[in-house]
Structure 1
Amino acid sequence: MFDILFKHLQKKVELTARDREHIPAFFEPKKIRRRQFLLNEGDYCRKLNFVSKGIIKSYALDEKGQEHISLLAWEGWWASDFSSFICEEKAKLSIEAIEDSELLLISKINYEKLLIEVPIMERYFRILYQNSLVTKDRRLLSSNAYNAEEKYIEFIEMYPSIAQRVPQTLIASYLGLTPETISRIKKNINRED
């Protein structure tokens, strides 16, 4: 279960043998079934979740009960309601498994200990947060400046294997589109081929 985590860490920082021995003690492995919740809106997010296997989503519901996906996370990705985790406030997001999934969870106490006891992890999380800000900026630009077809094409080009694993309705929600719009775009793309 830790192989994916170590591969992900090694892409960003250089781990020593001691780091590799020490890191697992801070995490709690967890398996969840498809449609099982890790977090419900209104609860407190007490753990950061690393996906070792499967796909999870984080989302908010509007007043009509419509789901708005903020994140799709698969192998090698982290997911949580970070505001709730850091600020110890009620979660504004729910987190649910799209597929049967295997996760590594780290509590806030263990997160803080990890940063102190394995100093390279401080650098790792800094890099992770920087990349996350870049991704959010790109997503905001895409949301505001791209038309529906451009949004969909960008998603498919960036995450081709995930587009095969995630239902079209969830991709539509993530992109702020309707499933019908995605169907129309796919038909147009297929006609052009």
Structure 2
Amino acid sequence: MLSSESLEKIIGISQIITVQRNNYFVKENDICNYIGIVKSGTLYSYFEDSDANMIVNELYNKQSIITSYRSFLNEIPSPAYIKAYSDAEIYAIEKKTYKELIQYQEWTLIFKEIADELFINKCFKETSLIKLKAKERYLTFIQNRSCIEQDFPQHLIASYLKIRPETLSRIKSLDLHQDNK
């Protein structure tokens, strides 16, 4: 989570981008020109495999950092889509503004804070996919991402966790039964 001081500074210089439900913040193969913080609403990032199956890579809700970071930094096509699940507003910093601000130490530190958070989230997800069983991934995920189950449907959460929706239902059902004992 970004510090409140960094968040205030970002809000102060950003523009608000509105993304309507089912529209895109960025599409695959487009260059992502923004890095932002979700003000309201929900979005998700996904890839399509060779059979056109959707594979959710990230879920974004309020105060999430949102970007196709590799595309943003290198000005190359985004490998994924970022789509609004619900109407969303994003505090967004344009690439041109980013390039101007990064010359100042104060902003370099803020952008490092953003980069660190993105990296830690990526490492956390990668490690959990390798080391944890489906139930452990789910429990860790909901513990670390408050309100996520209220914000997204089960099939998107299941895809993010790399499990089938039926498996997620079974895990949740088992937890409910164990809580009642």
Which deviations, in whole Å up to 9, do the C-alpha atoms of 1:41-83 show, x marking residues without a partner?
1111111132111111111110111111111111111211111
Give the structure 2 partner of residue 115 of structure 1: 102
Q: Distance in 1 between matches of 2:106 and 2:76?
A: 28
TM, length-normalised to structure 2: 0.89
Give the structure 2 partner of residue 169 of structure 1: 155
SS in 2 for 1:34: coil
Q: Does 1:31 align with 2:25?
A: no
Over 3 Å counting, the alpha-carbon distance change for 1:112 and 1:147 in structure 2 is: same
1:148 counterpart (104, 109, 134): 134
Q: Distance in 2 between matches of 1:121 and 1:156?
A: 32
Farther-moved stretch of structure 1 (128-137 vs 141-150): 128-137
Over 3 Å counting, the alpha-carbon distance change for 1:8 and 1:140 in structure 2 is: closer
Q: How does 1:5-20 map to 2 (within 5 A)?
A: 8-10=2-4
SS in 2 for 1:103: strand
Give the structure 1 partner of residue 79 of structure 2: 92
Structure 1 residue runs of 4 or more that deviate by more than 3 Å after TM superposition? none
Q: Any gaps of 5 or more consecutive residues in structure 1?
A: 1-6
Q: Distance in 2 between matches of 1:132 and 1:8?
A: 11
1:59 counterpart (46, 63, 73): 46
Q: Any gaps of 5 or more consecutive residues in structure 2?
A: none
Q: Distance in 1 between matches of 2:2 and 2:153?
A: 26
Instruction: Return the offset for 1:141.
Output: 1.1
TM, length-normalised to structure 1: 0.84
* Greater per-residue helix proportion: 1
SS in 2 for 1:105: strand
Which deviations, in whole Å up to 9, do the C-alpha atoms of 1:136-182 show, x marking residues without a partner?
22211110111111111111111231112210001001111110110
Q: Distance in 2 between matches of 1:134 and 1:78?
A: 12
2:171 counterpart (174, 185, 192): 185
C-alpha contact (below 8 Å) 2:11/2:91 kept by paired residues: no
Over 3 Å counting, the alpha-carbon distance change for 1:164 and 1:12 in structure 2 is: same
2:146 counterpart (160, 163, 170): 160
Q: Distance in 1 between matches of 2:27 and 2:156?
A: 18
